[in-house]
């Protein structure tokens, strides 16, 4: 059970992974057809039998039981081996030759998991985008509301509620941009048994034709075309994993700050719909913050598993390291899906108690601006004299009265000097900068597709056509490098 992901992780369910595996098998047949190798009748028949729904879409309706494939996967170490026989059973005997032709199980499984990750990370991006919009609105509305900043848990200097929200916004925005970049680069996998594409060259008649099959396969999946097989070069997994961890880091900071500020004795913030307690009916727990924090605390270890597996991906095919990636990546996606969904709801309903913010700020009194006194009065009064005044105020004496009585402070605006609202520095400008920052166009909210799964919020049909054009070889046969892709 993963409470933070409950109701939000359908995009990485076992059934979806199985559908993606079948999709990869169908996409390979269609890629052969695009090169004129497989007969059109075979391509059409297989596509219909497997429930092909279009380039970049995950098939449905093939009828292969998840439990059946899962149980049979133990013998060979992965689900593709038993899946191939079941897929072949769905198509006419004359067309079975084209199922899995030339592929190795890692080609199909890597491509399927990348396809699942591509769609799931699109949903995460949607949650992050909504969270950004809500944080921007909070930062704008609370731009100049003065609050106590805390360092090492203690009151430090004045800040604003708006700047705190803008700081959260910057973290989420950066994570959003990094995840977009990692998602856009996710490639299909096609290399054959040893990553040489030899089997495909044999089927198609030349190594050059085998290389042409790769972007054709990627286009059918709606993924980037790799420069080469990446069976043991696992950057697609680690870069995506790192971006997901960064997103959960940013959401974790937000959730931790909200949880702290919603403590009974602080009460500056409150979730719009707090959770209850089984034993204490008076409580309104920051349930969303707690769930988000649980995901953020688990994410780094899952990211570390992906890196450990990448470092151990030896020879031309990994012996166990590859297998360790599957559950770690899916669980990381599951956490990100849940945390991003909770975060958008948390920030949209977040309540600020202005009286509590002011009360908390007042707990430190004029000492909240002691830094200002050192900077502003140090040259005139001397550093030691200022420190003495502050120490006296810390023992309970009236700091304003002490300053007025000091000869060197004659003529100073003591009231203004001690006003926290006049010592927030560039806080307002930093909020404005965060709100005006340029950022790329973002995904829209997804809608469920015909079978109730969340549709991909980023890659529409037009985008897939553009992707195919970008990743396909040019007239000279040159494929764009990753840095040349959009």
Tens digits of residue pLDDT in 104-149? 999 999 999 999 999 999 999 999 999 999 999 999 999 999 999 9
Q: How far is CA 306 from CA 178, 233, 256, 433, in A?
A: 18, 12, 26, 36
pLDDT for the residue numbered 274: 55
Residues of the chain with pLDDT > 70, as a percent, come to 87
Tokens standing for residue 232: 């043991």
Instruction: Select the highest-mean-pLDDT range: 234-248, 367-381, 424-438, 469-483.
Output: 234-248
277 is catalytic: yes
3-class SS at 230?
coil
Over 60: is that where the pLDDT of 275 sits? no
Mean pLDDT of 14-23: 98
pLDDT for the residue numbered 53: 95
Residue pair 148/155 in contact (Cβ under 8 Å)? The answer is: yes
Choose, from 209, 317, 422, 485, the residue flagged as catalytic: 317
With vertex at residue 42, the alpha carbon angle to CA 41 and CA 43, rounded to the nearest 5 degrees, is: 95
Choose, from 141, 206, 277, 404, the residue flagged as catalytic: 277
Over 80: is that where the pLDDT of 482 sits? no
Residue pair 55/466 in contact (Cβ under 8 Å)? The answer is: no
Tokens standing for residue 329: 């990546």
- Measuring CA to CA, which residue among 282, 277, 286 is closest to residue 259? 286
Contacts of range 380-387, beta carbons closer than 8 Å, 24 or more positions apart: 380/408, 380/409, 381/406, 381/408, 381/409
Residues with Cβ within 8 Å of 82's Cβ and at least 6 positions away in sequence, in order, are: 68, 69, 72, 73, 75, 76
Over 70: is that where the pLDDT of 93 sits? yes
> Rounded to an integer, what distance in angstroms lies between the CA atom of residue 24 and that of residue 32?
13
Lowest model confidence (mean pLDDT) among 8-22, 275-289, 368-382: 275-289
Say which residue the tokens 């502050």 belong to: 390
pLDDT for the residue numbered 453: 38
3-class SS at 470?
helix
Q: What are phi and psi of 44, to 5 degrees?
A: -65, -40
pLDDT for the residue numbered 439: 56
The per-residue pLDDT for range 280-338, each reduced to its tens digit, is: 444 468 999 999 999 999 999 999 999 999 999 999 989 999 999 999 999 999 999 99
pLDDT for the residue numbered 412: 87
pLDDT for the residue numbered 485: 37
Q: What are phi and psi of 67, to 5 degrees?
A: -60, -35
């Amino acid at each position: 059970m993963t409470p933070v992901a409950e109701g939000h992780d359908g995009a990485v369910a076992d059934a979806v992974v199985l559908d993606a595996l079948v999709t990869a098998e169908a996409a390979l047949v269609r890629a052969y057809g695009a090169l004129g190798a497989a007969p059109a009748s075979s391509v059409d028949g297989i596509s219909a039998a497997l429930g092909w729904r279009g380039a970049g879409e995950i098939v449905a309706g093939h009828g292969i039981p998840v439990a059946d494939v899962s149980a049979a996967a133990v013998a060979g170490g992965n689900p593709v081996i038993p899946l191939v026989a079941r897929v072949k059973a769905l198509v006419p005997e004359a067309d079975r030759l084209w199922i899995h032709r030339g592929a190795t199980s890692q080609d199909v499984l890597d491509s399927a998991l990348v396809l699942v990750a591509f769609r799931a990370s699109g949903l995460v991006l949607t949650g992050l985008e909504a969270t950004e919009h809500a944080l921007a609105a909070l930062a704008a509305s609370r731009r100049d509301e003065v609050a106590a900043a805390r360092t090492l848990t203690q009151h430090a200097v004045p800040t604003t509620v708006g700047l705190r929200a803008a700081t959260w916004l910057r973290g989420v925005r950066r994570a959003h941009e990094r995840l977009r970049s990692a998602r856009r680069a996710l490639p299909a996998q096609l290399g054959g048994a040893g990553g040489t594409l030899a089997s495909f060259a044999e089927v198609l008649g030349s190594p050059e034709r085998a290389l042409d099959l790769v972007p054709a396969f990627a286009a059918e999946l709606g993924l980037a075309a790799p420069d080469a097989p990446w069976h043991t070069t696992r950057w697609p997994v680690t870069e995506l994993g790192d971006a997901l961890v960064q997103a959960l880091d940013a959401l974790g900071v937000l959730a931790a700050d909200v949880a702290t500020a919603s403590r009974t004795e602080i009460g500056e913030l409150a979730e719009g719909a707090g959770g209850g307690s089984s034993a204490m009916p008076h409580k309104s727990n920051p349930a969303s913050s707690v769930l988000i924090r649980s995901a953020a605390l688990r994410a780094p270890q899952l990211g570390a598993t992906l890196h450990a597996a990448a470092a151990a991906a030896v020879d031309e095919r990994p012996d166990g390291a590859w297998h360790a990636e599957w559950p770690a990546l899916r669980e990381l996606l599951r956490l990100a899906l849940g945390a991003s969904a909770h975060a958008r709801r948390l920030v949209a309903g977040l309540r600020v108690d202005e009286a509590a913010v002011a009360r908390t700020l007042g707990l430190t009194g004029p000492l909240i601006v002691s830094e200002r006194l050192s900077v502003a009065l140090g040259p005139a009064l001397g550093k030691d004299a200022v420190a003495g005044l502050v120490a006296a105020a810390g023992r309970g004496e009236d700091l304003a009265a002490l300053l007025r009585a000091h000869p060197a402070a004659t003529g100073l605006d003591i009231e203004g000097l001690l006003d926290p609202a006049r010592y927030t520095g560039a806080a307002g400008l930093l909020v404005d900068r965060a709100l005006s920052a340029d950022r790329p166009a973002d995904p829209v909210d997804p809608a469920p597709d015909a079978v109730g799964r969340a549709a991909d919020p980023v890659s529409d049909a037009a985008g897939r056509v553009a992707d195919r054009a970008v990743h396909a070889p040019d007239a000279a046969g040159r494929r764009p490098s990753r840095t040349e892709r959009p």
